[in-house]
Amino acid sequence: MSHQDKLTTLLAGLDGAVSELELNFKAELIKGEEDSNDVLLVTIEDREEFPVYVTVDDSQVLCISYLWKEDEVKPESRTEMLEAMLSMNVPMPLSAFSKLGRQYLIFGAVSRRVSVDEVIEEIETLSENTLTAVEEFADYLNA
């Protein structure tokens, strides 16, 4: 199955889905530029400020939620925040923190061979972990 076919399958399964926690999903396809792949934008009702971006490559389905930018972090708290993020990576189920450029994010990945239901579970967990991260790290951020 091609990347595009997998994204199309995920789009059909995610748009209008309701998770086990009764979260309502909406999904739309965002066309990539010439050199980049298409991406799914998944929003969850009442959590629209933290959408999940879903991409597919040769081995995985990658789900990403953007957190905050570097300039939103209190400079005097940055090192402590980074240590807290590293410490939280292991006990946080199915998700990990990362940074791309000046943007902090939280992500999870599953095998390409998983079902749509398993991707729904991944997105649901990632959304829960995103809310937890925003709450846990609020003291490190500028108001």
CATH classification at residue 105: 3.30.1460.10
Q: Count structural domains, the chain.
A: 1
CA 23 to chain centre: 15
DSSP secondary structure string, 65-95? EEEEEGGGB-GGGHHHHHHHHHHHHTTSTT-
* pLDDT 10s digits, 5-59: 999 999 999 999 999 999 999 999 998 776 668 899 999 999 999 999 999 998 9
Confidence (pTM): 0.92
Pinpoint the alpha helices (H) of the chain.
3-14, 78-89, 116-136
What's the order of all strands across the beta sheet hosting 52-56?
A: 25-30, 39-44, 52-56, 60-69, 103-111, 96-100
Residue 122 belongs to what domain range? Answer: 3-140
pLDDT digits (tens, 9 = 90+) for 91-110: 888 899 999 999 999 999 99
Provide the β-strand partners of residue 34.
none
